[in-house]
Amino acid sequence: MGYRVVIPTAGIGSRLGGLTKYINKSLVSIANRPTISHVIEQFPEDCEFVIALGYKGKLVQDFLELTYPDKIFYFKQVNPFEGIKSGLGLSLLACEEYLQEPFVFISCDTLVKGEVKKPDHNWMGYTKIDDLSQYRTLSIEKNIVKEICEKGIIKENIHAYIGLAGVYDFKLFWNKMHTDNFDAIKQGESYAMRSLIFDSEVLAYKFEWFDTGNLKALDIARKAYIETNSPNILEKKNEAIWFIGDRVVKYSDDKSFITNRVKRVLELKGYVPEIYSYRSNMYCYKKIEAKVLSEVITISIFDKLMDYSNKFWTKKILNKNQDREFIKNCTKFYKGKTYERIELFYKNFEKNDNAVLINGERMPLLRDLLNKIDWNSLCKGKPGRFHGDFHFENILWSEKEDKFTFLDWRQDFAGDIEIGDIYYDLAKLMHGIIVNHGVIASDNYEASWIDGEINFQLGRKKILVDCELRFNNFIISMGYDLKKVRILTALIYLNIAALHHFPYSILLYGLGKKMLKNEMEADYAINP
């Protein structure tokens, strides 16, 4: 028979810095799953979970209800969850009504490997580490906890307490939690466990433990939980893709992003997975048994993709008003966003328009290059059905079914969820062929910007170079303008440079500027 597990998630996770700006600390990703998924999966299938909610609590509840519909959860809001009146003990007291039986306490930033004991006796978890200064400790004799020590207290036979405990004498536990409100709220479960140590026996169990509550420890945990053949996903601050069993969850801090993604499934039906459930900040679909295209790409598969994509890119006939609106959207999406993103790049990385040399080639100012673009011609696109983030990492290939599936489609094109520019999909595919996510994830590149000079090196697989040549021929054979595609590709690099980490951001900016100059000087002309 299962038991109940209480997981407090109310805190703001300040020790994780910017990682918790948009999400709760329990949703920070480890091996493409939120930390809380790893926590839950440490326990037997028939356990029930009591979740204390606070900071970004709705996201936690939505995620758990979407991805674990067969599990029983009890949610309790904690108020306040920050400030001088808040504390771990307040989270526990908020959950008291659901814990009137033996239970297990576990911090939402505690991961362990090995069996977690049932709460059929009192026990606490510990680990052996050299630096004890950041943790409460347990004084242990013959596998029995003799004392719980606060941070900074050093004695013999003490070990780090890992925020994991079994509470059998729950009535005694709750009685103690009510005796001194201030200390109980600040110290949390360890305050009440001291009574259990005094009045009964509390066993000590050693665990292989991973702390995920601070950046250094989180990095160690992420390396320990790396899964082979897992997708290469470049982390974004306000978005995430999580894989839980046979479910895939897409999260975004932007509610309209999710709403429009869900709406667009009707337009893209047959090409993208079917969304079977969603909330305001996330949606869910069944995992597709297939390979990410970047892992299996060959020329023959690429040719199949081009045939398949050509059917997907259905052109749309617009009336005069629609055409005027479409050109307006293209102008906003290409020109307006480019200028905004470049300024954001300069701000984010404390740079200015002074890169006069890129890989030894003399460069004009970027603003001069941008001013020379014939924006009117560039923004006369091909209206039609679009994906919006079309590259190999967002395309699955099933050899068994001889089928492609498109993932992570864009929510709109400059606000329009039905009509986009096919040229943008062509340029996105080109950008991913030239700069492959796997190369970035494996750090197979270099980039620097020193004294007005950018130097970068980018590793490329031969098959992707071959695909680029093949793609150039496809573009021309289908009557699209190759120069337009490649200029848009350069603008994509400049646009996304502000959104990525250093020095990848420098690579994107340098490559984008260099490519823009070279393509604008090419002999062929834009013919929309």
Q: Which CATH number belongs to the domain containing residue 431 in this structure?
A: 3.90.1200
- Does 343 reside within a domain? yes
Pick from 1-10, 170-179, 231-240, 397-406: least confident: 231-240
Integer Cα distance of 173 and 196 in angstroms? 7
pLDDT band at 523 (very low <50, low <70, confident <90, very high): confident
Integer Cα distance of 524 and 521 in angstroms? 9
Integer Cα distance of 351 and 356 in angstroms? 13
Please indicate, yes or no, whether residues 310 and 401 belong to a single structural domain of this protein. Answer: yes
Integer Cα distance of 502 and 482 in angstroms? 30
Integer Cα distance of 342 and 211 in angstroms? 38
Calculate what percentage of the chain has a pLDDT beyond 90.
Answer: 90
Q: Residue 141 forms beta bridges with which residues? A: 144
* CB neighbours of residue 376 within 10 Å: 11
Please indicate, yes or no, whether residues 317 and 214 belong to a single structural domain of this protein. Answer: no
In the listed set 224, 256, 274, which residue is the last one of a domain according to the structure? Answer: 224
Residue 404 reports pLDDT greater than 50 = yes
Please indicate, yes or no, whether residues 212 and 319 belong to a single structural domain of this protein. Answer: no
- Does 267 reside within a domain? no
Please indicate, yes or no, whether residues 202 and 296 belong to a single structural domain of this protein. Answer: no
Average pLDDT over residues 397-423: 97
Please indicate, yes or no, whether residues 368 and 504 belong to a single structural domain of this protein. Answer: yes
Please indicate, yes or no, whether residues 299 and 447 belong to a single structural domain of this protein. Answer: yes
Give 371: exposed, middle or buried? Use CB within 10 Å, 0-12, 13-18, 19+: exposed
Give exposure, 286-305, as e/b (b: 16+ Cβ within 10 Å): eebebbbbbeebeeebbeeb
Average pLDDT over residues 281-285: 98
pLDDT band at 528 (very low <50, low <70, confident <90, very high): very low
Q: For the chain, what is the radius of gyration of the CA atoms?
A: 27
Please indicate, yes or no, whether residues 90 and 179 belong to a single structural domain of this protein. Answer: yes
In the listed set 224, 251, 267, which residue is the last one of a domain according to the structure? Answer: 224
Integer Cα distance of 324 and 347 in angstroms? 33
Here the tokens at position 449 are 């910007």
Average pLDDT over residues 181-193: 91
- Does 19 reside within a domain? yes
Average pLDDT over residues 107-120: 95
How high is the pLDDT of residue 417?
A: 96
Q: Which helix (H) or strand (E) holds 423?
A: helix 422-434
Please indicate, yes or no, whether residues 372 and 489 belong to a single structural domain of this protein. Answer: yes
Please indicate, yes or no, whether residues 84 and 174 belong to a single structural domain of this protein. Answer: yes
- Does 180 reside within a domain? yes
Q: Which residues contact 189 (CB under 8 A, 6 or more apart)?
A: 88, 89, 92, 105, 165, 167
Integer Cα distance of 32 and 29 in angstroms? 6
What's the length of the chain?
528
pLDDT band at 52 (very low <50, low <70, confident <90, very high): very high
How high is the pLDDT of residue 524?
A: 62
- Does 237 reside within a domain? no
Please indicate, yes or no, whether residues 309 and 433 belong to a single structural domain of this protein. Answer: yes
Please indicate, yes or no, whether residues 214 and 362 belong to a single structural domain of this protein. Answer: no
Give the rounded distance of the alpha carbon of 135 from its chain centre: 29
- Does 109 reside within a domain? yes
User: Half-sphere exposure (CA, 13 Å, Cβ side) for 213?
Assistant: 16
CA dihedral angle for residue 213, residue 214, residue 217, residue 223, rounded to 10 degrees: 80
Number of domains in the chain: 2
- Does 12 reside within a domain? yes
Integer Cα distance of 230 and 292 in angstroms? 10
Q: Which helix (H) or strand (E) holds 403?
A: strand 403-406
Please indicate, yes or no, whether residues 99 and 217 belong to a single structural domain of this protein. Answer: yes
Residue 525 reports pLDDT greater than 70 = no
Q: Got the DSSP string for 195-213?
A: HHHHHS--EEEE-EEEE-S
> Residue 122 sits in a domain of what CATH number?
3.90.550.10
Asked whether 358 and 516 are in contact (CB, 8 A), the reply is no
In the listed set 224, 255, 282, which residue is the last one of a domain according to the structure? Answer: 224
- Does 233 reside within a domain? no
Tell me which residue range forms the domain holding 101.
4-224
Average pLDDT over residues 240-248: 95
pLDDT band at 150 (very low <50, low <70, confident <90, very high): confident
Asked whether 40 and 68 are in contact (CB, 8 A), the reply is yes
Residue 527 reports pLDDT greater than 50 = no
* pTM for this model (two decimals): 0.88
Average pLDDT over residues 100-110: 97
How high is the pLDDT of residue 295?
A: 92
Q: Got the DSSP string for 264-285?
A: HHHHTBTTBPPEEEEETTEEEE
Residue 458 reports pLDDT greater than 50 = yes
Alpha helix ranges (H) inside 275-317: 293-296, 299-312
Tell me how far CA of residue 104 lies from CA of 128, 149, 160, 164, 287, in angstroms.
21, 21, 18, 7, 32
How high is the pLDDT of residue 526?
A: 46
